Structures are given as C-alpha cells and as structure tokens.
Amino acid sequence: MVLVRLLVVVCIYINMSPLMAQQNKINEKPFVIPALQSWQGAYGNFELRTGAKIILQSTDKQLQTTANIFAADIQTISDKKIKLAVSTVKPQPGDIQLQLTNNDIAIGKEGYYITIGKSIIIKANTTQGIMWATRTLLQMLEQDGAHRYLPKGEIKDAPQYAVRSFVLDAGRKFFPLQFLKDYVKLMSYYKMNDFHIHLNDNGFKEFFGNNWDSTYSAFRLESSTYPELTAKDGSYTKKEFRALQEEAKLYGVNIIPEIDVPAHSLAFAKLFPEIGSKTYGKDHLDLDNPKTYEVIDNVFKEYLQGPDPVFIGDEVHIGTDEYAKKESEKFRKFTDHYIKFVESFGKKVRLWGALTHAAGTTPVKSEGITMNAWYNGYADPKEMMALGYDLISTPDGWLYIVPAADYYYDYLNLKKIYREWTPNMIGNQTFEPNNPKIKGGAFAVWNDHPGNGITAKDVHHRAFPAMQVLAHKMWAGADTTLDYTIFNKQANKIGEGPGLNVMGRYHIKDSLLFDYNFENIATQNKFKTFGKSKVNINKTLNLQGGNSFIKTPYKGIGYNYTVSFTIKADQNPADAVIFSSADAVVKLKQQQTGKLGFSREGYHYNFNYTVPENEWVTITITGNNKGTSLYVNGKLTDKLEGAFKTFPGTEKKNAIVQTLFFPLQYIGAKNQSFKGSIKNIKVFTKILTPEQINTLQ
C-alpha cells in the first residue's frame, strides 16, 4: 500500500505543468516591454479560462471599448481558445476587473495598478492607463506557452516621460492605410503613445537631373481646396484619416499630423510655381510673396476648420526647419504666423527646432509650444528652454533612420541606445532626468531617397526592433537592469501585438515552415483549390492560367528565408504569376523581359534567368534585408544585391534595394496565374547554405 501511494505521488508530480511546479516559489518579475516600474511577487499562478468575465466598475463608454478590445485580443493570442464576456455583474474568482480611480496622483494619467491573485484587478485614473495595463497582461500571456497562465503578484507602473513618439516620413514614401493602422496597434502594444506622420516632402534635385520640376514630391491628403495638390501615387482621404485618428485614440495613441513648410515644400510650389523661391530653390517657399501665405493658410484651414475637422487631435505639427539662414527674420515671421494661425483653431502647436539657426529679433511665440529638438546647431536645447519651449528629444545623431543611405543610420545602434541614451540627452547636452521642459523622446524614419526600392516591409524591419528598445527607454528612462544581450533575447519572444505579423516571422522548432507535396491536399481544411487549379495524384499542382490558385495559411515570409519549388512551365504570356499576395508577386516572366522576377510596391526586378518550357527545374530563392538570390537546380544563378544608380555630373549615387518579402498567400493567382505544374514546395525560416540548397533538387 505504501508503494502504491508513493507511485501515485510520483505520477502526480511528473504530470504537473512547469508553472504549477513553481507554487512554492515567489514569482520573479515578468519581462515585458517597457519594463515594469514595480513588481511584488507572490506564490502561484492565475489561470485564465473561458467563461470568466471582464467586469467593468463603470459605465464609461471608452472603458467599455477598451474592455472589448482586450477581450478580442485575448481570444486572438489564445488562438480562439479563451473567450471572455464583458459585463457589469458582481465579480467572481477568475474574473478580470477594470476600475477607474480618477484621483491617484502616484500613477498619473497613464499609470496603472494590476493585482493578480484569485482574480485580476486593474486600476487606473484613465482609460489610457487601463489600456496600458491590458497590454502588459497580453505580453505576459504571449510568453506563456499555453497563453493562459499569469504569475501572481502586484504591479505598479507609470511612464517617466509623457511623450513617447515615432516619426514616419510618409511624404517621400507612401505607406498604405493598413500599414498605419497596424502601426497604431504595434505602438499601443509597446505603450508608445505618439504617432507623428510627416505628410509632405520631396526628394533632392541632385537625384532628379538637377531639375526641380522632375524632382519627386508628394502631399498625402485629399484636398478639396486644391485637388491637384493630392499625390497621385498614394494618398489618404479625409474620411480615412479621421477614422485612423479615431481608431488610434481607442488604443491610447495620439496621431500628430505634420504639414511641413516653408522648406521641404516642393509639392506646393509645383502647384503654384510663383510661390517657389527663385533664390534658394523651388522646395523653399517665397516668404516675400503674399500668395505663399494665402496658399498655406488655405491648406491648414481645410484640415482645421469646422465642426468636424480632419485633424481631430489636440496637436498639429507645422514643420518649420532647414530654411535658408539668410532669411532668418522672414522665417521667424512665417513661423510665428503659423503658430498663431493653427492655435486660432483651438490646437496646440509642434514644430521642428530651427531658431538658433534662424536667430533674429522677430518674436516667435514660445508659450505652450512643443519643439522637436533634433540638431543642436539648429536649435540649442538650453537656449530653447530659456525661451520657454517644451522639448521632445529627437537627436538625429542617435535616432534618425534613413533607409539605404550612406548617412545617419540604416539601422539604429540599439545596443548603444539601450546602454547609454535617455530622453534627457539631446545631442551633446544632458539634463536632469526629470527636467519638466523635456516632455519625452522621438525616433524617426526619413525616406530621403524616393524610388530607391525600399518597401514598407523594409522600413518595418528597421523600425520594429528600434520600437522595442526605445519604448523601454522612453517609458523607463535609465532602467537597464537587464544587460542588453538578455533584453534582446527576451524581446525576440514578444511579437508585434495580437493578430499582427508585419515582419512575417514564424517561431518554430524546425526551420521547415511547410512542405507542400500536394498529396491529398484537397482534403486538408487549411488548403483550398480555386478556379482552374487541379491537384494530381502524382503530387503535383496543375495551374491553367487566369483564375487558378491554391490559398495557403500564410500571407508571406519575411527575412531570412529560403523558398524552393520544382516547376514545369507551359507556354506563358508576360507577367504570368507563380506566387502572389497583397505585398508582392513572383513572376514566371517579368514584364517583357521573359525572365523570372518579382514585383512589389511598383518596383519590378528580374533575375538573369529564363525558366524553360516543358522541363522540370528546381528553383530556390533566398532573401534577407539586403537582397534576393536565385539558385537553379542547386546552383547559384543570380544575386540581386548591392546595386546602385549613379548620377552623371555629380558624385551622387543611390542604392537600389532589391529585397523580397516572399508572397505565400496564393500559389498561382486570382488572375494572370502561370500555366504549368508545380510540386515539392518547401519554405524555411532561415537561409540555407549552398550545400543544403543543393540537396533540395
């Protein structure tokens, strides 16, 4: 009998989950980004179960919305295994309570408390604080293998800095509306509360034949006042932009729209040539011309006036940087005019720091104005503080990303930022950590070189890891308790937020994401054949062109990857598609070249290889953040990487980026599918060695 009891005890212990096995140990501080300000560990774990409720202690409509978002996000993270109802009934053990306290100065506007015990209790002064608390819990759930266990303990958390910002240059590169929506959710997941969207700009004329008229420029908003102002290659309607701002508010994120004048203003001068400066270049507005003020007044007015303005938030950015120094007094007058003009519509104003560079006697309003301090030669921080400006630390030498350029950063030096930078450091000046004039920090992506092949995926590849580090530094300041190596390793376990995978990453034990041989594929629920596609019993997929495709569970795969397939092509027209998604297409014949290639975001590239007709060949494509390589029957055939466009008469050259976020959503296409057979499709979440690739044929 004693032996039987001993065996029972041993069996019970063996079958306990790892979490349950730690019941007699005080829980360590959970890793989340940004780091928790305070954690008091307890014993054991809370289990989140379907049937539990999110209980509201208020009838606040915004709180109701926050609760609904939280419930949907839990369901997404748990792969639809956990469904929570939102209710106002009396809480029971296992429920999650959301409570607005309204008057706790210890946590301020954005702070929160979480108690994880028999139930979970969240308290905050605002719904934004509640939202941040839910993001903390979601990150903890994401890192739990079962997506249901949370360590018991108490959290007190609040940001050190009020503004935690990301600046995106959408003027020189268009980003689809969905990308902006995804970034709102991504930023919210990391408690970044300030999304600064730069809505107009232009390229450098040196890259466009030294001709301003052919130099790229764009203004990204629909305009009723000046319809021709709106960019033809990508823009946002007023309705879309309002909706984006409204959705961002629900996630605790403020959208800061920027119209940049009087430099970076070629889009306006192209429409009205008379307001372009004949002295300093057409991208500078003529500050002596009354028409300049008339046009720019009308532009701002369109988005600020009326009961339902397009810019719905409290703050608007008016640009104002890098204008010709000789015109300092006129520039100062212009700046002061637009500060007061925008304020007349009830908005607060932001601007770029330029008033050290543009020194003069013409007064410029400073009270209540927030300045992005980006380069101390343009705006000395101490001087700007003395004048009365609030500052957002945006130091170019630390935090400027310019993709595929030979200046600033292609990728930020995140190790150095993590170890050394805090928002109280602006250029070569360091202030006390709690200086009230420093409102926070911002990092930026500037797309200086239109037409260089950089895609939204490439920008994200640079911005996402920076977001993780800077979210921590802007919330937690100098807290680097964890070494960067440990932080980075843990950060890789946290994604972009519920339902987001803009990076196209898949965490699997084996690097083989899938292996399609099409055997019995038609009976598998996760694959569907469409149109003229047909699966043969010999494990091949036959596509008949036109509307002929199979839909897979994956939209695409990001860097680094290997995709291999064996194909026999019939006779096909130009632009016949092998793989497709909303992001890109891989073509059997790229346009009129007749060669294998790919297209994404209006860029078209081809390998120096033509797929033969009526012959089986094994194609392997590898891709990283630098370029794309092609192997045929196991041998390297072409490599699209390191290309440059040169400009005669100048020393300028522009990198041409030939990356591919590989499309996997459809094998074939909804239209223009290739005609032929394909089999043995393998996708790996790493770049295989040439020796490994050789074994795939």
Please tell me the distance from the alpha carbon of residue 493 to that of residue 139, in angstroms, as a whole number: 9
Please tell me the distance from the alpha carbon of residue 685 to that of residue 560, in angstroms, as a whole number: 6
As annotated, the residues of the chain forming the CATH 2.60.120.200 domain(s) are: 512-694
Phi-psi region of 477 (alpha: psi -120 to 50; beta: other; left: phi over 0): left
**CB atoms inside a 10 Å sphere around CB 144:** 17
Please tell me the distance from the alpha carbon of residue 226 to that of residue 142, in angstroms, as a whole number: 47
Q: Out of 3.30.479.30, 2.60.120.200, 2.40.420.20, 3.40.630.30, select the CATH number for domain 512-694.
A: 2.60.120.200
Tell me the sheet residues that pair with 425: 430
Amino acid at 106: A
**Which pLDDT belongs to residue 22?**
54
Structure tokens at 326: 């000789």
Please tell me the distance from the alpha carbon of residue 292 to that of residue 285, in angstroms, as a whole number: 7
Give, in words, the CATH class of 163-491: alpha beta
Select from 491, 438, 432, 496 the least CA-distant residue to 164: 438
pLDDT tens readout for residues 625-669: 999 999 999 999 999 999 988 877 677 788 999 999 999 999 999
CB 478 within 8 Å of CB 434:
no
Please tell me the distance from the alpha carbon of residue 361 to that of residue 245, in angstroms, as a whole number: 38
Select from 267, 384, 372 the least CA-distant residue to 317: 372
CB 94 within 8 Å of CB 84:
no
Q: Dihedral through CA 388, CA 392, CA 397, CA 398, nearest 10?
A: 150
**Which pLDDT belongs to residue 9?**
38
Please tell me the distance from the alpha carbon of residue 681 to that of residue 662, in angstroms, as a whole number: 13
Could you say which DSSP state residue 263 is in? S
For residue 154, the surrounding DSSP H or E stretch is: strand 149-157
pTM: 0.94
Please tell me the distance from the alpha carbon of residue 246 to that of residue 16, in angstroms, as a whole number: 46
Residue 89: Cβ-neighbour burial (10 angstroms; 0-12, 13-18, 19+): exposed
Select from 581, 456, 440, 495 the least CA-distant residue to 185: 495
Please tell me the distance from the alpha carbon of residue 488 to that of residue 33, in angstroms, as a whole number: 11
**Which pLDDT belongs to residue 526?**
42
Q: What is the 3-state secondary structure (H, E, C) of 434-484?
A: CCCCEEEEEEEECCCCCCCCCCHHHHHHHHHHHHHHHHHHHHHCCCCCCCH
For residue 330, the surrounding DSSP H or E stretch is: helix 328-343
CB 671 within 8 Å of CB 639:
no
Tell me the sheet residues that pair with 194: 165, 254
As annotated, the residues of the chain forming the CATH 3.30.379.10 domain(s) are: 26-157
Burial 48-74 (b: 16+ CB within 10 A, else e): beeebbbbbbeebebbbbbbebbbebb
**CB atoms inside a 10 Å sphere around CB 510:** 7
**676 phi and psi, to 5 degrees?**
155, -160
Residue 692: Cβ-neighbour burial (10 angstroms; 0-12, 13-18, 19+): middle
**CB atoms inside a 10 Å sphere around CB 40:** 13
Residue 70: partners with Cβ closer than 8 Å, 6 or more residues away: 54, 96, 134, 138
Peptide linkage before 625 cis (omega within 30 of 0): no
For residue 678, the surrounding DSSP H or E stretch is: strand 666-684
Please tell me the distance from the alpha carbon of residue 410 to that of residue 193, in angstroms, as a whole number: 24
Could you say which DSSP state residue 589 is in? S
CATH architecture of the domain with residue range 26-157:
2-Layer Sandwich (3.30)
pLDDT tens readout for residues 245-260: 999 999 999 999 999 9
**Which pLDDT belongs to residue 524?**
42
**Which pLDDT belongs to residue 23?**
63
Pairing of strands 541-551, 534-535: antiparallel
Give DSSP secondary structure letters for 511-553: SEEEEE--TTGGG-TT-EEEET-EE-TTS-EEEEEEEEEEE-S
Please tell me the distance from the alpha carbon of residue 472 to that of residue 481, in angstroms, as a whole number: 12
**Which pLDDT belongs to residue 478?**
78
Could you say which DSSP state residue 189 is in? H
* Residue 54, helix vs strand vs coil: strand
For residue 227, the surrounding DSSP H or E stretch is: none
**Which pLDDT belongs to residue 331?**
98
Please tell me the distance from the alpha carbon of residue 417 to that of residue 415, in angstroms, as a whole number: 6
Select from 666, 662, 671 the least CA-distant residue to 550: 666
Structure tokens at 379: 């705006």
**Which pLDDT belongs to residue 646?**
82
Q: Dihedral through CA 451, CA 398, CA 493, CA 254, nearest 10?
A: -80
**Which pLDDT belongs to residue 20?**
46
Tell me the sheet residues that pair with 276: 285
Select from 318, 312, 278 the least CA-distant residue to 297: 318
| Mean pLDDT in consecutive groups of 10 residues from the start of the chain, 697 residues | 38 40 81 97 95 92 97 95 94 96 93 98 98 98 96 98 98 98 98 98 94 97 98 98 98 98 98 98 98 98 97 98 97 98 98 98 98 98 98 98 95 97 96 95 97 97 98 89 94 97 93 78 46 60 90 95 97 97 97 97 98 97 98 97 82 89 96 95 96 90
Peptide linkage before 450 cis (omega within 30 of 0): no
Residue 485: partners with Cβ closer than 8 Å, 6 or more residues away: none
Structure tokens at 583: 């992001």
